[in-house]
Amino acid sequence: MNLHMQILITKLAMFFLLVASLPGTYAQMTGNGYQPVEDVEKVIERLNKSSREIFSIKSRFTQKKQLDFLDETIVSKGSFWFRKENSLRWAYTEPFEYVILLNAGKFTIIDGSSVNEYDIDSNAAFREINDLIIGMVQGRVLEQGKFEIEVFENGSSYLVKLVPRDPGIRKVISGMDLTFDLQDLAVTRIVMYEGEKDYTVITFTDKRFNETIPDTIFSADM
Amino acid sequence: MKPFRILYFLLTCSILSNGCAPAGSLMHEMEADLKPDFRPLDSSSGTFLFRAKIRLTGNNYTGIFLVKQVQADSTTRIVFLSEIGLNLMDLKYKRDTFELISVQDFLDRPSLIRMLKADFGTLLRDPGDLQGTDIYYKRDEPSEMIQFRYNSRKYSYFHMKGRGVYRIERRSGPFSRTTYSIDRTGPMNILIDHGGLKPDIELIQIPRIDR
């Protein structure tokens, strides 16, 4: 895997980790009725405070890809596990098995029987991921200035719209929508936009917080 | 001198083999109902979704290829997606011509794009539609084969009843050969071997696509 590929994967993983590390359980976004929040800083502080109280997350996810010319939706499903300080397993089970693993200074991709492992310290981008995770679990991510942020509210949920400041990331993802349940500040849905009509929606179910997650979950041998 | 004679003999055989039309009849002279469908991927028959593995020396790319005919303009779109659903490359194909719609920087390599265009052209093209090209047909039970020259390349498509097209060879000279092995016993599996140090591509069909 060359450097460009590593950087791309890293940038994509950064989005995953940003998203996956946010606490939450869910409801479907109602779609309309969102109004701009006046005190954005206050909302972000609420979200970050909630994040700081989480030491582990386990959840299932459903990913739906929509292309402008396609009348079908490409659906993938899987599970993810996160444990402080920086252990993550993002595992697709349908339509095929594919795992992104981050643990103990290693970035690992498990593709069927193929396992590719990279040292986080071997690449500046991997280090950035690591720092991002730590920042996330400590509640600093939305304060780090990596995104232009707008916050909306509709009485049942927050809609946080993020636009990457990094032009490199913006070429891959033009923006993201994160929907948080207003009561428990849980992420209910993520939308990653690529242009006007192509986007990916990830929804989470069966989310569990602060349960003990064994080390084996974050091992490639699992 | 013996090694040089052997080398000369091999080269001569290769050039002769590559240069001569195979024994057989012209396909255009065949009865239409006897002509099997030699098109490996008929995009008009639905949406194809493939798990893709591109293996290069020191570089491995994985993702998903989506092949879909767009009814509105009769084009076929070939989109390479990452596992997390992000667009990596988008090609539009119509009447044997490709248009690059978009590509991520790390994949924006002319040799790779050229290779993918050649491969998907080989898989999507209906040899029966080629105008002004002599297509030679040979039956060798239970196999049938067609051969033709197109764009300075020589193509051989092997077909078997019940298996469809199961092998394609594309030659662009005595030493450059690409083979496509197509297995439909389970989900369709296409293994593309470009020979030498060039990349191998494996496409494994993903049967399920939800609406």
Q: Does the beta-carbon distance from A173 to B82 stay under 8 Å?
A: no
Q: Choose from B21-30, B135-144, B178-187 the range with maximum mean pLDDT.
A: B178-187
pLDDT band at A29 (very low <50, low <70, confident <90, very high): very low
Q: With contacts defined as CB-CB under 8 Å, which chain B residues touch A6?
A: none
CA distance B70 to chain A (A): 7
Q: Does the beta-carbon distance from B77 to A69 stay under 8 Å?
A: yes
User: Model confidence over B120-155: pLDDT tens digits?
Assistant: 999 998 887 787 788 888 888 888 899 999 988 999
DSSP state of B199: P
Q: By CB neighbour count within 10 A (0-12 exposed, 13-18 middle, 19+ buried), where does A31 fall? A: exposed
The predicted pLDDT at position B208 comes to 61
Q: With contacts defined as CB-CB under 8 Å, which chain A residues touch B94?
A: none
∠ CA A217-A218-A220, nearest 5°, is 100
What's the Cα-to-Cα distance from B57 to each of A6, B63, B110, rounded to whole Å? Answer: 15, 18, 17
Residue B20 has pLDDT above 70, yes or no: no
Query: Which of A15, A62, A64, A69 is the mutation pick for testing B, counting most B CBs within 10 A?
Result: A69
Residue B11 has pLDDT above 50, yes or no: no
The predicted pLDDT at position A179 comes to 87
CA distance B24 to chain A (A): 43
Q: Does the beta-carbon distance from A69 to B81 stay under 8 Å?
A: no
Residue A21 has pLDDT above 80, yes or no: no
Q: Which chain A residues touch B if contact means CB-CB below 8 Å?
A: 1-2, 4-5, 7-8, 12, 16, 63, 65, 67, 69-76, 92, 94-96, 98, 111, 116, 171-173, 192, 194, 198, 200
What's the Cα-to-Cα distance from B97 to each of A95, B77, B121, rounded to whole Å? Answer: 31, 12, 8
Residue A5 has pLDDT above 60, yes or no: no
User: Model confidence over A71-114: pLDDT tens digits?
Assistant: 889 999 999 898 887 788 989 999 989 998 888 888 888 887 88
Sign for the pseudo-dihedral over CA of A129, A134, A138, A143: negative
Say which residue, B168 or A52, is predicted with more confidence: B168
The predicted pLDDT at position A144 comes to 64
Helix, strand or coil for residue B52?
strand
Q: Residue A153 — left, alpha, or beta (φ > 0 → left; ψ -120 to 50 → alpha)?
A: beta
CA distance A137 to chain B (A): 22
**What ipTM does the predicted assembly reach?**
0.76
Helix, strand or coil for residue B17?
helix
Q: With contacts defined as CB-CB under 8 Å, which chain A residues touch B59?
A: 1-2, 5
Identify the helix (H) or strand (E) that includes residue A58: strand A56-66
pLDDT band at A137 (very low <50, low <70, confident <90, very high): very low
Q: Quick one: tokens of B185?
A: 């016993």
Q: With contacts defined as CB-CB under 8 Å, which chain A residues touch B70?
A: 69
Q: With contacts defined as CB-CB under 8 Å, which chain B residues touch A172?
A: 86, 104
Judge contact between B91 and B100, C-beta under 8 A: yes
Q: Does the beta-carbon distance from B106 to A73 stay under 8 Å?
A: no
d(CA A174, CA A15): 12
CA distance A65 to chain B (A): 6
Q: Does the beta-carbon distance from B81 to A12 stay under 8 Å?
A: no
∠ CA B119-B125-B130, nearest 5°, is 130
The predicted pLDDT at position B127 comes to 84
B162 touches chain A (CB under 8 A): no
Q: With contacts defined as CB-CB under 8 Å, which chain B residues touch A63?
A: 84-85
Q: Does the beta-carbon distance from A67 to B79 stay under 8 Å?
A: yes
Residue A217 has pLDDT above 90, yes or no: yes
pTM across the whole model = 0.79
Helices A124-137, A40-52: axis angle to 10 degrees equals 90
Tally of CB atoms within 10 A around A33: 11
Judge contact between A132 and A139, C-beta under 8 A: no
Q: With contacts defined as CB-CB under 8 Å, which chain A residues touch B210?
A: 72-75
Amino acid at the residue A109 = I
CA distance B100 to chain A (A): 15
* Range from A155-159, A171-175, A216-220, B170-174 carrying the lowest mean pLDDT: A171-175
CA distance A60 to chain B (A): 15
Which chain B residues in 52-111 lie under 8 Å from chain A, judged by CB atoms?
53, 58-62, 64, 66, 68, 70, 77, 79, 81-87, 104-106
Q: Quick one: tokens of A148?
A: 């232009």
